Amino acid sequence: MNKDILKLAIPNILTNLTVPLLGMVDMHLMGYQDSSVFMGAVALGGVIFNFVYWGFAFLRMSLSGMAAQAFGRNNTTEMAMMLFRGLFLALSAGLLLLLLQKGVVGLSLQILEGSPEVKKLAADYFYVRIWAAPLAISLMVINGWFLGMQNAIYPMIISITINIVNILSSFFFVKVMNMKVEGVALGSVVANGIGFSLSIILFMRKYRHILREFNIKEVLNKSGLLGFLDVSGDIFLRTLCIIVVFTFFTSKSAGTSDLILAANSALLQFLFLFSYFLDGFAYAAEALVGKFTGGKNITEIKRTVRYLFGWGIAFALIFVAIYGGFGKNILFLFTNQPEVIKEASIYLPWLILLPVTGFSSYIWDGIYIGATASRLMRNTMLLATIVFFSIFYSLKSSLANHALWLSMNCFMLGRGLFQTFFYSKLNIFKQ
């Protein structure tokens, strides 16, 4: 079992590690400008894209579990329909976002807190990066489908390529072309274009036979789309809760001061680094639990869960040690501004604690997605979100920014505890 888990987890870990690296590079490029407003602008612009991209991440998550179950049943037609319906929805959503871009950024910046200068720069960032939306959302679907096919290598190749190109492009546009926030945004556009082209090449190399199953009437079949959207809708609401929490976190940071926004944005990279690492095991859970659910193999599902939690606990302890021993040194990767480093250091202990409070939520997410237990997943996330806001509003007046970080830790812990409680109620145990 460990071999099967690592076969899927390691490529995804390597893939995911390039994602926070990209965020770190963007923070580095903006953190070494002459003002903290550039860091804040990229952070605020990134929050808007959390709405845009995380909002459509439900397509990847619902598709990977459903495709894995079709793989477990060895149903080629069903595998194909999962991909084609997902791409139809992704491209439609991406084109709609392009049409509505002014409304999206205008409404977002009205809701979000921040100084006028930060908001103006965030809008500049958005108007460039939004042109990658159709490709970026489609890539979520394609990578989710590859994972459902038990293929973690192709998503790794695609994601690493995208992030390397993004990093190099951003450095070129910022350092050579003397661009600011527009430079890191344009780097994302270039990288997604190359990544989408690569995904098509890889698909044609191994899965060309799937094209024989293409039937536009079946793709647009009402019952088929509604069945896909039924699972996707619950996962969308679950994802929306995460978006609301992280958006609220960044917005409240911006509303406090540009300095707090810059400090919290740097510290969030610690969370993202850990989460993308643990997501490697979550993706392994999606693929394996989905396959065993499709094959109705309850014994292997339970065995997979036990082994996944063993890995999760081990890496949580490793990250506690890394953040505890080298946290202040890591901050220098994001900025050389003494006031930002000093402020971030005050709240660093919350990040040292976070791997322990958060690891189980990532493992459970993969298990629930693989089992397509979307309704229970939605409910546990709603409960955890209530915990987040309850704690913040109870303590904000006395703890200030500490209340945000305490609430974030309780949010992560609550997700894991609620999912642990509902585990025995999954439909896979009622078959």
Which residue ranges make up each domain of the chain? 2-429
> How far apart, in whole angstroms, are the C-alpha atoms of residue 189 and residue 91?
16
* Res 20: pLDDT: 47
pLDDT tens, 194-231?
Answer: 999 999 999 999 998 888 887 877 777 766 676 666 66
Residues of the chain with pLDDT under 70: 15-36, 39-40, 50-51, 54-55, 113, 222-224, 226-232, 427-431
Amino acid in the structure at residue 200: I
pTM beyond 0.75: the answer is: no
Structure token pair of residue 183: 């430079």
> How far apart, in whole angstroms, are the C-alpha atoms of residue 235 and residue 208?
29
- Could you tell me where the beta strands, DSSP code E, fall in 14-137? none
* Res 24: pLDDT: 58
Structure token pair of residue 224: 């088929």
> How far apart, in whole angstroms, are the C-alpha atoms of residue 48 and residue 59?
18
| CB 272, CB 19: distance < 8 Å | yes
> How far apart, in whole angstroms, are the C-alpha atoms of residue 7 and residue 88?
30
Q: What is the 3-state secondary structure (H, E, C) of 272-332?
A: HHHHHHHHHHHHHHHHHHHHHHHCCCHHHHHHHHHHHHHHHHHHHHHHHHHHHHHHHHHHC
Contacts of 357 (CB under 8 A, 6+ apart): 409, 410, 412, 413, 416
* Res 27: pLDDT: 62
| CB 173, CB 186: distance < 8 Å | yes
Count how many residues are written for the chain: 431
* Res 411: pLDDT: 96
* Segment holding 261, helix H or strand E: helix 258-294
